[in-house]
Structure 1
């Protein structure tokens, strides 16, 4: 770790103190970037970025929640949702390289319990890892028709929110359900993949063949074989995925592998239709009767529309909106709870066929259908005076109709961004309201609702 930080320091120092070329090559240089140009025109470059998202959170605990073995009805925690370093560049006319290193969901209970399942001490310092390590080749010079890449990458199918640019999201956090296999058979939504992507006319496409990780390597005890579908502990097959977008107005940036912008804050006029899929043979299994083990394919697909455009260019107002339908088939009765940077460590109650129900968790992934939508409005620039930023309020909704639930699970968020300096420095205040459940036979029935309030400060360069 110390060698990586030393390398980043040397690179950033070199960038910061590098002499800017004179003449036309230096015109329009962005002084807010840590960027080192490799040729006179600046088309070949290497760049370093840093991101930190700090959370302050109040949460109403799910029933039975415990924190280090003590019952807690409410929690307050401080954490780092994401801390990342990106290193990437266009090395020549055809070759692009991208690396990302960092950590996620780091709060006071990181590394809990005191001893892991192997009986050895846990370690709160083991957290950061490479998210991405990918090289990409441009087949047709100066044309985005076809790029071929390989490595550990976020290039995914299903939807734009399966590969989000987390520095530019409009809502305080992304709809994580769209990262459908996150930390099950991937590494925080990244996969070892061979992919092809490009833009031909108004069509933007990406297709990938991925080599999933075994579920046994995700750091959690694998669930027991039961009537409820889970990721299979035996067998290994490749995963196939793709995403197609039709762009009616401006084309979206196609430089970095995979990552898709959350909102352009009125800088572009975007209206897209998209459709995506992920499929994998025999990825899931469950038990029928008392002895029969049955395998199922993983089949996920979605259709959606995305709008992000200025309303009044003189004032700087803009709108951003997304609406999508997701058909999620993980096999019979699959259901998985997830709580983002969960502030709790355990639960005194149990629900059949699910785990991790404590704290702020809710049924996020499951076999069934999901409707997701978000909308935001960017107020006029310099709302609080020149150089003092503006506001962007938003709302989002996730409606999950899963086989294991007796009623549709509705999760609602309302929030506002204070864009002090665009996405580079912003405060976000978000309130989320979610359902809680009890057992009703083999299914789960809602018994009430809980809320959480989060204040996030993002700094990015």
Structure 2
């Protein structure tokens, strides 16, 4: 009965949003009394009009010709969610919780960029992510409070000539895939699969890198390459803390990370001033791109091939261990096109393949905006705890992700709102799961965007069927229902 109440509450929120989006006629007034003498007709009451396109948004020109300007973008993504937790999950330590109904901040960001002229670009991006009542904060003794406001990007760029721009700083000019460079403002689905950011918060800073990059476009060929310093990570890890023959990030990694992404644009060309790739154009462009990318970091991983001795040495790094290169390859395709311009219909599809090499049997569990802070099993060696909504997201092996959406005709929700249903599928086949006899990973998403003002104001309702690997030989699927409310200016 409790699940039914949650479903009714979410449905009521979406219905109310759709109703609010309908055009309301002005209230009828009484006709004026007859005048004894002819009078000028009163001015006509303004009728409702369609929303003006957002265009350049909060942009301030600093020169008459607009060559000098700055722009501010601010957005919040709020999740209202019901989640059936993984087996053994605890809201906080000692508080078992089979399911959760919560509200959280998935993202809260500010982005500023400016150009002195078309040759110079500066970008500053800061904000918070993944705060709910029990996690995401830095309050002493209160883990959900006062989240850390941190810099996502701080980069400068110079245009060398027509085909080459170079930049440096904390940047998002990522390699691997289109979705590794995704804009979080215009997703088709409610969020990314996270397999697109396979090193997130390990050797990068929330999918950003400290280094130098080069980008450009030659005809219909678009490219971005970078060389970066990997962030120091896993400083408590030693050969003694590793499961036998299971890799982890090497705490003594000082080799540069190299990455790149290359795409050929068959139809309309996309903007490439900023690195953020659009998830859905809502029928405003005809885009068909194929791309490929890579990431390489020498000796980024390490493992211990033998069992631990009965007596550990004083320095655990005197134990025999191996280092492994981290290598990732990808190939993807993106297609977005209007179908009927009069009706406003459009179709969007994206598919990507990843090949990951993190060293032997590496698997990593991740749970987005995890509602649990304790409990859960550790059934997959070295992968972390399967609490809350976590499941194996990346690992040595391969992954597939695909999504498709259809923008319905303009009149489905009235003149002021649009409806865009979508479906997505994530698949992972990882060496570490094969080693313990577990099945491959499959995650299914089905949802719809209610676009109140394009991507600038929208509601997204998503149903997810997620595998619970608490018992890897007997996997059960758990439901998640998420209502995302998003506005960006």
- Normalized against structure 2, the TM-score is what? 0.82
Q: CA deviation at 1:382?
A: 4.6
Separation in 2, partners of 1:356, 1:147 = 43
Cα drift, residue 193 of structure 1: 1.7
Cα offsets for 1:356-380 (capped at 9, x unmatched): 3100011001111111100000112
Shift of 1:126: 3.9
Residues 222 and 454 of structure 1, relative CA distance in 2, 3 Å threshold: farther
| 1:306-344 Cα shifts (integer Å, max 9, x gaps) | 001111111111110011111011111000000000000
- C-alpha contact (below 8 Å) 1:435/1:446 kept by paired residues: no
Which deviates the most, 425-434 or 34-43? 34-43
What CA distance in whole angstroms lies between the structure 2 residues aligned with 1:97 and 1:317?
Answer: 37
In structure 1, distance between residues paired with 2:475 and 2:234? 33
Q: CA–CA distance in 2 between the matches of 1:460 and 1:36?
A: 17
Which stretch of structure 1 is more off in the superposition, 348-357 or 160-169?
Answer: 348-357
How far 1:385 sits from its partner (Å)? 2.2
User: 1:214-241 CA deviation, whole Å, 9 max, x = no partner?
Assistant: 1147xxx658223211101123111000
Q: Is the 8 A contact 1:150 1:193 kept in 2?
A: yes
Change (3 A) 1:53 1:123: closer
> Which one of 402, 409, 414 corresponds to residue 385 of structure 1?
414
Classify the secondary structure of the residue corresponding to 1:404: helix
The answer to whether structure 1 residue 360 and structure 2 residue 381 are counterparts is no
Alignment RMSD (CA, Å): 2.0
Moved more, 354-363 or 451-460: 354-363
> Deviation of residue 32 (structure 1)?
7.0
Match of residue 319, structure 1, among 337, 347, 354: 347
Q: Deviations over 1:7-41 (max 9, x none)?
A: xxxxxxxxxxxxxxxxxxxxx99677211102222
Q: 1:269 to 1:67 in 2, by over 3 A?
A: same
Within the candidate set 148, 153, 156, 1:127 is matched to 148
Q: Distance in 2 between matches of 1:35 and 1:349?
A: 50
Matched residue, 1:58:
82
Q: Specify the SS of the correspondent of 1:391.
A: strand
SS in 1 for 2:117: coil
Q: Identify if the C-alpha distance between structure 1 residues 122 and 391 changes in structure 2 by more than 3 Å, giving closer, same or farther.
A: closer
Q: Separation in 2 of the partners of 1:110 and 1:302?
A: 33
Quick one: distance in 1 between partners of 2:280 and 2:212? 28
Report whether the alignment pairs 1:265 with 2:282.
Answer: yes
Equivalent position of 1:424 in the other structure: 456
- Alpha-carbon contact 2:59-2:71 (below 8 Å) kept: yes
Q: Identify the range of structure 1 (32-41 vs 42-51) with the bigger mean alpha-carbon deviation.
A: 32-41
C-alpha distance 284-31 of structure 1, shift in aligned 2 (>3 A): closer
* SS of 1:288 mapped into structure 2: coil
Partner Cα distance (1:366, 1:59) in 2: 24
Partner Cα distance (1:114, 1:97) in 2: 32
Query: Would the alpha carbon gap of residues 458 and 129 (structure 1) be closer, same or farther in structure 2, given more than 3 Å must change?
Result: same
Match of 1:88 among 103, 110, 113: 113
Matches within 5 A, 1:207-218: 207-216=225-234
Pick the aligned partner of 1:136 from 138, 152, 157: 157
User: Following the alignment from structure 1 to structure 2, what is the Cα–Cα distance between the partners of residues 353 and 179?
Assistant: 19
- Name which of 129, 134, 152 aligns with 1:104: 129
Report 1:175-254 matches (<5 A). 175-216=193-234, 222=237, 224-226=241-243, 227-254=245-272
Match of 2:172 in 1: 154
* Partner Cα separation in structure 1 for residue 168 and residue 457 of structure 2: 33
Q: Deviations over 1:219-267 (max 9, x none)?
A: xx658223211101123111000100010001111111x2111111111
Contact 2:353 2:399 in 1 (8 A): yes
Instruction: Find the counterpart in structure 2 of residue 39 from structure 1.
Output: 63
Instruction: Return the offset for 1:435.
Output: 1.1
Q: Decide whether aligned partners of structure 1 residues 31 and 292 sit closer, same or farther in structure 2, where only a CA change above 3 A counts.
A: closer
8 A contact 2:152–2:170 mirrored in 1: yes
Q: Secondary structure in 2 aligned to 1:124?
A: strand
Structure 2 residue 432 is the aligned partner of structure 1 residue 404: yes
Kindly state the Cα deviation for residue 128 of structure 1 after the two structures are TM-superposed: 1.3
CA contact (8 A) 1:112 1:345 kept: no
Tell me how far apart the structure 2 counterparts of residues 41 and 112 of structure 1 sit (CA, whole Å). Answer: 44
Mark the CA change 1:57 to 1:34 in structure 2 (over 3 Å): closer, same or farther: same
Matched, 1:331 2:359: yes
1:56-92 CA deviation, whole Å, 9 max, x = no partner?
0000010110111211110111001000001101221
Structure 2 equivalent of residue 280 of structure 1: 297
Find the aligned partners of 1:216 and 1:317 in 2 and give their Cα distance: 48
- CA 1:122–1:314 in 2, change beyond 3 Å: closer, same or farther? closer
**Rounded Cα–Cα distance in structure 1 between residues aligned with 2:115 and 2:346:** 31
Distance 2:181 2:53 in 1: 28
Unaligned runs of 5+ in 2: 1-51, 308-318
Deviation at 1:93, TM superposition (A): 2.5
Structure 2 distance, partners of 1:438, 1:182, is 23
Secondary structure of the 1:250 match is coil
